[in-house]
Amino acid sequence: NAGVTQTPKFRILKIGQSMTLQCTQDMNHNYMYWYRQDPGMGLKLIYYSVGAGITDKGEVPNGYNVSRSTTEDFPLRLELAAPSQTSVYFCASSYVSGPYEQYFGPGTRLTVT
């Protein structure tokens, strides 16, 4: 099992550009999540999904979009990149909802200039 994989590892965007951060898990988990981690701050939930075709907003969804067409994939879309979106993005998954552990990918470091 590769677990949770994310691509790319690093990316530099110019203001106004768009991109998609890819996330794939091979653990057959129903639940998937996107977090961002800023220096000196805790992880913040952007969006989550409880299964294919079902997504919902987390704490900081503005400026992002997601889709979930398969159990394995949960891409995060940035439409008009802004400097405030400079961050490290982590995708995670869990088998069930509730107080159960989430498994994290290695992260994507994004810089918007």
Partner 1 sequence: EDQVTQSPEALRLQEGESSSLNCSYTVSGLRGLFWYRQDPGKGPEFLFTLYSAGEEKEKERLKATLTKKESFLHITAPKPEDSATYLCAVHLAIYGGSQGNLIFGKGTKLSVKP
Contact set with partner 1 (CB under 8 A): 4, 31, 40-45, 48, 50, 56, 58-59, 90, 92, 97-107
Instruction: Select 2 or 82, whichever has its Cβ closest to partner 1.
Output: 2
Instruction: Select 14 or 98, whichever has its Cβ closest to partner 1.
Output: 98
What is the secondary structure of 50-113 as a DSSP string?
EETTEEEE-S--TTEEE--SSSSB--EEESS--GGG-EEEEEEEESSSSS---EE---EEEEE-
In the complex, least distance from residue 20 CB atom to partner 1, rounded to whole angstroms: 19
In the complex, least distance from residue 42 CB atom to partner 1, rounded to whole angstroms: 4
